[in-house]
Amino acid sequence: MKKVLKGMPLFSALGFKKQMLALAICAGVGLGAISTVEAAPARNVNPPSLKASAPHVYVVKKGDTLWDISKKFLKNPVRWPEIWASNKHVKNPHWIFPGDRLLMCTYNGKPIIGKDEGDGCEGIIRRYTGGTKLQPQVRVESLNNAIPVIPLEYIKQWLERSSVISPDSLKDTPYILGAADNRVLAAAGQTVYARGNGMEVGQRYAVYRQGEPYIFVDANGKKFNAGVEINQVASGIAVRDENDITTLELTDTYNAEVRRSDLVLPEYDPMLPTLFYPTSAENVTEGGSVVRVMGSIGTAAVHSVVTLDRGTLQGIQPGFVFNVTQKGEMVTDPKTKERIQLPGQRVGQVMVFKSFDNLSYAYVLESELPIKVGASIQPPLMDD
């Protein structure tokens, strides 16, 4: 796959130890702490447009997502943060749980939506504006029950077990040398042997399969590797180390078996981010497109995960929403016989949930037509 990217810098070279740290505290979400993305200021003065069918009262149900709830109220769900009346006296005011009663109220002539604490719109507005707060109430609720922005089961694999790293960092990474009993493949409960410096007995390790690199072409026509995708296939514990060979007992395997040349990296404990808000992309380098459909060689639809050729170095943040436009067809003018490209067509929306230096993973929120590699991305218009 080749693509011209203007002004996209290469990854900086990282040593093995620095790469371990980078994997543990990866920028964005998915490999580190839970992230909350606040709404950017609206780019126009018009309040968000409510749907004619927007309910005045909505009780949150198990299985709801924040995106689904937003679509019940707004013509443009991206503008949800502008109408959400978060309680300023609560530590995590964005959490919504099944059973919460949402009320649509009016404040200064604009719609706001908040959680009913038993005192209706008056209480929602009072807490939203920082007024007198109610007496503290105890609520015991598992964080796993919090309403996510999108269905986490569709992105969990990419959050927990996939990453993009610099190709330079692979040079000193330990790797699987072989398995016990002359096995070609190994799974949970079996023994494998790794070679490489820095491994310690008693430490837990993740085994990764190296995927296809992201090869692009810069403005001068020169090819470069913008990153290598790695996918975790197993976990294990180092139980012995002798003569530069570390013995690993595999405890878990994930959708694949371990084989020779797989990479070995320290295992981290990922935290699934459920708190980022969908928000319009601001201050992102212009251009950008879909460069890969994850887990498929074909096209993407709703619930698919795609890779975008924009990352943190181009201003990307988790929660950013983009419109996706497919290139128009090349047709032959029946009269002049000229080859003419038809205008592009908006085919869907995606939301970034995990970002790297020059690349990002995004979830397909909407898809009127199949999304193909090469489709361009643009921040959504904020005219609703």
Same domain, 247 and 311: no
Q: What is the pLDDT of residues 220-247, one digit of tens each?
A: 999 999 999 999 999 999 999 998 899 9
Host domain of residue 171: 4-34+155-266
Same domain, 226 and 254: yes
50 burial level (CB within 10 Å; 0-12, 13-18, 19+) = middle
* CB-based contact 323:349 (threshold 8 Å): yes
pLDDT band of residue 91 (cuts 50, 70, 90) is: low
Is pLDDT above 80 for 110?
yes
Residue where one domain finishes, among candidates 83, 111, 140: 140
List the single range of 6-10, 109-113, 130-134, 278-282 with lowest mean pLDDT: 6-10
* CB-based contact 278:323 (threshold 8 Å): no
Same domain, 172 and 203: yes
Same domain, 262 and 302: no
Type of residue at 102: L
**pLDDT value at position 15?**
34
Helical H segments across the chain, by residue range:
16-24, 66-73, 80-83, 120-128, 156-161
Interacting residues of 60 by C-beta distance below 8 A, sequence separation 6+: 69, 96, 97, 98, 99, 100, 101, 102, 147
Q: What is the pLDDT of residues 45-83, one digit of tens each?
A: 577 889 999 999 999 999 899 999 999 999 999 989 889
Identify whether 149 is part of a domain: no
Identify whether 39 is part of a domain: no
Overall domain count for the chain: 3
Q: What is the pLDDT of residues 10-30, one digit of tens each?
A: 222 233 333 332 232 232 333
**pLDDT value at position 146?**
80
Helical H segments across 280-377, by residue range:
none
Residue where one domain finishes, among candidates 210, 239, 266: 266
Same domain, 217 and 77: no
Q: What average pLDDT does range 311-318 have in this prediction?
A: 93
- Predicted TM-score of the model (pTM): 0.80
Q: What is the pLDDT of residues 323-379, one digit of tens each?
A: 999 988 889 999 999 999 888 899 999 999 999 999 999 999 999 999 999 999 999
What is the DSSP code (8-state) at residue 186? B
Q: What is the mean pLDDT of the chain?
A: 82
Query: Which has the closest alpha carbon to 191: 247, 260, 235?
Result: 247
Backbone angles phi, psi at 352, to 5 degrees: -70, 135
How many helices and strands (H and E) does the chain possess? 5, 20
Same domain, 115 and 209: no
**Tokens encoding 26:** 């990866």
**pLDDT value at position 184?**
92
Is pLDDT above 50 for 121?
yes
**pLDDT value at position 311?**
94
- In this structure, what CATH number is given to the domain that contains residue 338? 2.40.10.410
Q: How far is CA 182 from the centre of its chain?
A: 39
